[in-house]
Chain A
Amino acid sequence: MSNRPPLRLRIPEPWARPGDAPDFSHVRVPPAGDVRRPDIADPEAGMRDLPYSLIRVLDEKHRAVGPWDPRLMPDVLRQGLRAMLLTRVFDDRMFRAHRQGKTSFYMRSLGEEAIGAAQALVMGREDMCFPTYRMLAWLMARDYPLLDLCNQIYSNERDPLRGRQLPILYSAREYGFYSLSGNVGSRFGHAVGWAMASAFKGDDKIAIGHVGEGTTAEGDFHEALTFASVYHAPVVLCVTNNQWAISSFSGIAGGNETTFAAKAIAYGIPGLRVDGNDFLAVFAATEWAAERARTNNGPTLIELFTYRAAGHSTSDDPTRYRPDEEARLWPLGDPLERLKSHLIAIGEWNEDRHAALTEELTETVKAASRQAEAVGTLGQSKPNVREMFEDVFHEPDWRILEQRREAGV
């Protein structure tokens, strides 16, 4: 043995566990409007400060400030607010439906609604989003039929995915929403390939892809960034850093050492770090990256800094690994409340209108879920069992035909 001290294995631990007081002293919240906004055509080398800052637009008085203010029309802001509110109301309803045994599984987007809502409004109808399972707000912002969502969640006879897929793993091509799957990260490279295809064809469409911060540890993350960088793909790659990957905090994914946006630097692409609970900041940063992609200036990595306010899924109990009060005390607040306050501050919204909208959306969701329940909930109704054998291939081979006969359908 040498005279050096023995080596020590470090295991990162979060700042607080159940029973502790939440501790966000490690979260730096710079003032809104503080971060410069480079030109979309600027070279990456000149913007390496951005991944270590935090793009914020809404200040403490709920005013939009600074160079990243996207200067949106009030109608767009109200559209965003509606999508976020609808997501939250729908999530609540479906979370309860799970508790009542109407479905096997559900995952809420609580606290992350600004991301899908803003990005669905930024991106074009012909663009394609390669989402995570916490991007319901995208579909809400694009008016995907609530009844189809409920039918999918109930896996009933009218399920658009014919009972083959777990609840919430939607596919909605017409809404620019790529087929979801349960394995994380494996669609990040598809976004890059899709964008490469558009460039290959000389089209004008771009792609946007998502992973959570936990998934940045997968090889898929590195592969996607490498290909995006090498081929200058017109893609916006996003990391939703909601602090938690099921029970493991972001430090287990490497978040203690650097920011997730800073990982872009190693690939030579711009990295933006954005207040994910600030609708305007998400909108502006995505718009900047989309414009950069559209003008052949290549990909961007965006870290959306937020907090997973709900449990990971209906199969998870977050009180077993983090303090109860953490979500409430998250320094970047609640995205829905912040956008609402902004609209009120600029005189484009008020409590009465908000209450009326909440009431309207609650009724709309209730009506859709009742209609879906009338078709049937899990186990009460399902598509024809023949559907189990369809779409394995474009045409079934002899095995599938035989097995379908054997199954008596």
Chain B
Amino acid sequence: MPNMNMIQALNSALDIKLATDPDTLVFGEDVGYFGGVFRVTEGLQQKHGLTRCFDAPISEGGIVATAIGMGAYGLRPIIEIQFADYILPAYDQLVSEAARLRYRSNGEFWCPITVRSPYGGGIFGGQTHSQSPEAIFAHVTGLKTVIPSNPYDAKGLLLAAIEEDDPVIFLEPKRIYNGPFDGHYDKPLKTWAEHPAGDVPARHYTVPLGSAAVVRPGKEVTVLAYGTMVHVSAAAIKETGVDAELIDLRSIVPLDIDTVVASVKKTGRCVIVHEASRYGGFGAELSALIQERCFYHLRAPIERVCGWDTPYPHAFEWDYFPGPIRVGKALQHCAEAVA
């Protein structure tokens, strides 16, 4: 199988859809001739033509609004918001329109759009190139939210998202576009070439939405993570020696609740890890669900390792980012807790 980084895997998914489904098109800021600021759409305009992959005005609201209109017509638009930090001008379109169109029209109109957006920190992106807004979408009924953590899943999930008849927010952890990152910022960078999930089939395949992946089976603690934090958590598990079960959620909505519950019932302990700030973060929903469903199996309080409740800072990148040391401490604390 060819080796791909996450950018190439995403590009491959888009290339396949443009080649096989004439109702798909790709647009967003700088995605056309230039191929995107992160190169995800590189070569697509040249290969598939000007109207299949084109540049948009700097207008997130306009990009999402026109995509919704195209979806109502019968197309399957795949749009890019350059940074998830800049998705907020389109929040009204996503919440009031995309998410509700099917419901309010009793199925007369629907919205099969995919909104791709690089997200997450660990890149010295400061306040507006680092945020993780998944919780503000998780709270919106009618939206699906997906976050891959490796090239194989990125391609399979993106193909599934494009083929999905509901609107999908597809968040791409930009810190791991080029290689897995475990939070050890002072160590040499790794590439996807050394990682098994860097083997990506050239053909079409899907990873279904709503299916979590057990990355590492374990008995002592369940660790719930997604995006870059899957790799950070894996490093923390290795370094602490705690026999933790690491679950990559992959979908925030729909959530693979069965996999989560089965794991926590087995281990009796749970640590939730995300980059987004803690208060009102998606970890709170996970924690509540587990408390409701696994209460009599829990042997320790559920712990959350998250970004702090501050805007994402620049100079304090590694003080903010929930790295392997913080995750490791929570793991040990949770594993050792005695009722």
A residues in contact (CB < 8 Å) with B: 128, 130, 160-162, 164-165, 169, 171-173, 178-179, 181, 183, 186-198, 200-201, 207, 219-220, 223-224, 226-227, 230, 391-394, 397-399
Contacts and interface: CB of A to CB of B under 8 A. Distances in A.
A198 B66 CA distance: 12
B72 A178 contact: yes
B257 interface: yes
Given A165-B104, A392-B103, A191 B69 contact: yes
Nearest to B52: A200
A197 B69 contact: yes
Contacts of A172: 108
B51 A186 contact: no
A42 B93 CA distance: 34
Contact of B69 (A189, A393, A399): A189
Contacts of A195: 69
Given A173-B108, A179-B101, A197 B74 contact: yes
Contacts of A397: 210, 253-254
B2 interface: no
B127 interface: no
Interface string B251-272: 0011001000000000000000
Contact of B66 (A160, A171, A227): A227
A226 B142 CA distance: 28
A226 B62 contact: yes
Interface of B: 25, 51, 56-57, 59, 61-62, 65-75, 77, 89, 92-93, 96-97, 100-110, 141-142, 144, 165-166, 210, 253-254, 257
A167 to B, nearest CB: 13
Given A179-B104, A194-B69, A200-B70, A173 B109 contact: yes
Interface centre among B25, B69, B165 (most CB of A within 10 A): B69
Q: Which 5 A-B pairs have the closest CB atoms?
A: A193-B69, A189-B65, A193-B66, A223-B62, A197-B73
Nearest to B97: A186
Contacts of A162: 106
Contacts of B97: 181, 186-187, 190
A207 B66 CA distance: 12
Interface centre among A128, A165, A169, A197 (most CB of B within 10 A): A197
A224 B97 CA distance: 15
A160 B105 CA distance: 9
Given A198-B73, A223-B59, A171 B109 contact: yes
Contacts of A197: 69-70, 73-75
A161 B70 contact: no
Contacts, number: 132
Contacts of A398: 254, 257
Contact of B65 (A128, A181, A192, A198): A192
B142 A220 contact: no
Contacts of A200: 25, 51, 70, 75
Contacts of A192: 65-66, 69
Contacts of A220: 61, 65
A260 B180 CA distance: 53
A178 B109 contact: yes
Contact of B100 (A128, A181, A190): A181
A285 B328 CA distance: 69
Contacts of A178: 72, 109
Nearest to A207: B69
A240 B277 CA distance: 44
A353 to B, nearest CB: 37
A171 B106 contact: yes
Given A186-B92, A194-B73, A398-B257, A391 B107 contact: yes
A264 to B, nearest CB: 17
Interface centre among A169, A187, A191, A223 (most CB of B within 10 A): A223
Given A186-B97, A192-B65, A192-B69, A181 B104 contact: yes
A196 B69 contact: yes
30 contacts: A165-B104, A169-B104, A171-B104, A171-B106, A171-B109, A173-B108, A179-B108, A179-B109, A183-B92, A186-B92, A189-B61, A189-B65, A190-B69, A190-B97, A192-B69, A194-B69, A194-B73, A195-B69, A196-B66, A200-B70, A207-B69, A224-B62, A226-B62, A391-B102, A391-B106, A392-B103, A393-B166, A394-B110, A394-B166, A398-B257
